[in-house]
Structure 1
């Protein structure tokens, strides 16, 4: 039997016996389902389904994912012929002519009011992407006699709490067992996850004397929710004994308070749980079996374009009502907001919308309409626009649904569907802004200063509030590219325990470092490799609290992954924990750069920060017409701000700036030294000596007086004039054990060195517990260029943190640091990490083209684009551009190129001529030609690259 016949026979066989109501609920078959059941590649299944579609033997239901139905079977069920010229439908109801499941056949037959006033009608997607979930929820609350306990599964921010609340509202209308005065009780199990006794007490209550501090008897949430619904968020954080007590209550309707021996209390409660985890791995199997209904809420990414736009409009309408002004937003901003919602889901979209609306309100203080333009968006939100570079179908759908501008008016209720929203700040930002505007206007403060002060307010009130969601989620998304989600989830749980037990915050690299350490340990166990543990018993005495905590973590690892964890692993964990605990930064010399010109000083400092990261450095630009007295006052103010107790080094260019140091010291009491003829290289060297080598002010000054830059020549390999032999060069890789993670780091750095033609530099793994013992020996034996890893070994060389190497422009940092140290000026080749990540991504997106074959041509094309744009792109932009171009080439193969729908200006036409010339490389090497439409989209991508997205170094 041919493959196409196998697939059609499968569709017919699986369709037998299904009713119209069932088809409305399941919508049809997906290509993935068919591929899985028949063992055929999904791409091949899709190709055969398209053939069947052209033969008019099946029909297609659009959506995400697409569903297919056997045309003849649907015609038999409907008792009528479907149109011959139509084989694609928007939804299943269009096929059935608007018919919906017969309420007379279901448990809701006696509750007509539920169909008339359905709370789920307020839920965006209830008739599309959430239709099946809504039907499941209705069935759960209407099932006799007391409904079915339910588990809602979905990522953070998809609306699990909202969905549970709508279930409750629907139950109050339609369920016979729930009265009007029934309560909806919400409890987050994570709040007491580390105190099982207290957690169980909150849910079931306790009697007097049940535990220390239980001075009186107390009812639990089960008692309060009697006759209603108890929503347990993050239910996977319930300890096993809590799950057992809960599933006994679900079975029998009886329970006991904590401290009681017999379960003689009764309550009628519908339990609804929610989790972000896989229930099979995070909950007891006996507990999961007691929950008959499992509802999976799709992520924002999985929702269709129409749902995303409706959610965006709804959230904008909430802000319009808050501020009582219309909000006008352009199409690019809408796409950026939607595209930026790559984590955090609807909750994150809400936070981003509040941020842009607050900024828009600030810029339109005296206008009747708040206008939001793409150019005014924060750079991190602009990145969302480039997300669509590899989503051809979705950007086409959004473009079809979005006009050039959308205006939302403050009309109607448009209030949040549920009050308990963790993404809702407990303040009204617009009121804060208006109050401060009124106050400052009364004080005759200029509009420019008002805007500056209030911009700071927005950052303080809103950015910090949402930082707990966005930065965490962003880091999480990046870490998941390196370790498995199960490992990361466990690491997050460990981080929570560490911070609570040690009563301090761990630094930002904890999750990445611990995840990698755990991954390498489990890999060793799986491969039956024995680690070469060194003698580190002294940590037991030096860090008793951390060691005891490490023992407990090792026990958790053993229980979760069912492995034996050696005692010495706890010792290594102790060292790891110690190195990752945030400590107050040591005092160091501060640097202030001042130079004539509008951006001379700030440009130098910007370059230095991009290379070495944030340091205790500030800058002052001095336009030629600026009064020197003003500059002096500003320098005094900045010196006071940045001084950390060890003085301030002033790096200036010329003129009056060279004489300000003595005046500043005399009037502020802060010691300063001044070096003139400032250059970018001088600033780099000053910061390196201040932060990495921790030198004193006078020592830095003396060492830099004669500094004239790193030079522009190739360093000779002959011995120095002193006659001492040249030491071999090395990079230190600081890790937890010297194995696993260290090897991964070593491989990565070796690739980077090979890419810049420096294969003679050794990469030395250095376990963190051996740093103090071995660093002096290593410094004597090697010329150490830099260190990378989980902690700075303080070896008088630059340090690149682990997270910067994996997540940021760490490759660029390493390259620059090595080249500067070696006085090299030849340009490096295309970054290895960019190429590697591009290939990995294209392997997922391309079907017909071989990423290894096309990547060279793509890289050359992007290099040509940089020359045309007259600015280099950073790594993130290059990866986005490479992937977009790879997908565009694939579209040329399949003859499904994008159709450009934006305005074509003479400027764009002129650019396209240059792009066409550069794109000739694809015709020469691949025999493929990019269409003008595709080139116009590439031009748009380059036009929208913000200053933050391009490298400042030239």
Structure 2
């Protein structure tokens, strides 16, 4: 038999369900008393309980009114705050959505562009709830979602579907007074899109009768399109919508946001299964870092798959807690643990190693595993735990290696707690061991320029003492991890090896390789006594992720994981980029200067100005991968063959000398006497010079600007004057007009050639050029070889070089292509 409270709530829900397109009705106690045949005093008590539980809303007055609470509209706070990333990655999108909803006139049209699976429908649903909470839509307003791909090949039925007929109500009528979400709007023809937008704006459509309900029609319409839709269609849609929103993909979100998404999905699964879900840190690491297909939707589906498999596996146990195993997830998920070392510092802030995380409904609980006093026991327990996940031996070793540092820090902490003073230590270990350890650390301190704390001293003594008591031949640490540490810290290894020999001789024991590794890790805990300041490497590239991706790889592979990155977003104003680059350089400088590795000339120009402004020494090294890629793509677009594209890049870029025998002068902060005083006007002039360089158009002026940045030792304006004259003479002599590609090829090749000759580099041997030297005597190119010598003579004299015959042949071969 149902409780009275359940009967009351059930009646109110049933009564309110009839009001599907309006607000829920407000009900009095008297009304309920008559319908349910219950005393009003009892009803008041029940109704107040339901209000406290959030199931009803109470309106004080005469009479007091009660209304069913809508689960889609929260009266507390901003509904957008329930979205992961509401104050970071989604901040701009939410601001645009609020502006669209609160705009006072018309039927707003909103275009949302996003990657497939990145949460468009969820974001649209939240916009809908915001519109309800703000009073722009009624509580029971309709929410209609429709995929335009369903009529991809039936465009003639578009108006019929949206307007309906005498038998069926159209989509527009169904969505009236609410929100309409049209997915994949790019599948709709331009003609039908224009018709729909005209209808929403209340415009009279030529050749059609007016609809009586169009005048009072009100609807918030959201159009969604994939980010990888062709640019022409995107621009068409952007130009016709009132508001434009771009949602970030999972890859564009931070690791912190991805962890919040994991928590959200696990809580939802726990609630759906009515179980507590226990997750190991290795699973969380994998889910944070594996390459996801289908973006956020794919991540959610993979978590659902893992939870479902675990639920089935433990279905007959009757246990309310289910423990997820790595084998419960698709195989590609486990690959995420391979990337843990690259993101270790970020992840360890969020996820504490050696813990179990339990999710239950709206909670995430962290439970420290039983601490082991012996690090060897701790590693053994970790391996046994990972074996339950059906991981391979290689994957287990990788996971153990990834968390070795964290395991050691916990072990070191426990040792420090056991001996907090030398007096206590003397009661636990022998005087001889203390003496040998003291001599070892004095030697290591001199060799490594380090200071070793009392805690490190006590920790080594206690660790070695435990090794003397429990001699083990079993190897826990993988060979790969041992090799990595030995190659990274060879001096530490030699010091520890000598200490091992002394201990083994004195106490007649044998240490295994694990013991040596842990002794090395004790040494690595020491604080450096030398100056840490050094040159900082900064990778700066055009694009939103190029530099940061390369820096992440470098940091993962290098000994010193401190390479910095600067991504030059192409959509940003150049002044903004200049300011951000300047702030970045000031932030990372350690007093010994910046090595700027960059991809194109504008960054070099900015660096020169920043060096003068900030008095920070900057040395630039150009690696023009972006420019090479643009050139290659341009040639491929002309339907050139693979050999033609490769030859073009070889001819035009092979002469660039990024690391010169005679290095280019360092960009130092000192300003020479002839340099004009720095003023706001001068600074503005420098930044203005870089504006055109940000574009990808390869015209002649941009090439000379680029070459001017690349070869600052040249008077590029003078070089430009000579080269344009030479090109004009060639065209006149041959009675032809060289296309832009050939002009650019000649300009880049000749400038690089002169630079190479000035620095007395041995000319490159061009066998193709030698093979065609004999072809220039006859035909259209007859006499051009000798003419070219005459054309190039002023250039040779001005820049004090001598261009050999084979180089002239190369120049002519470029013209002949």
Answer whether TM exceeds 0.5 for this pair.
no
TM range (shorter): 0.3 to 0.5
TM-score w.r.t. length of structure 2: 0.36
**Structure possessing the higher radius of gyration over alpha carbons:** 2
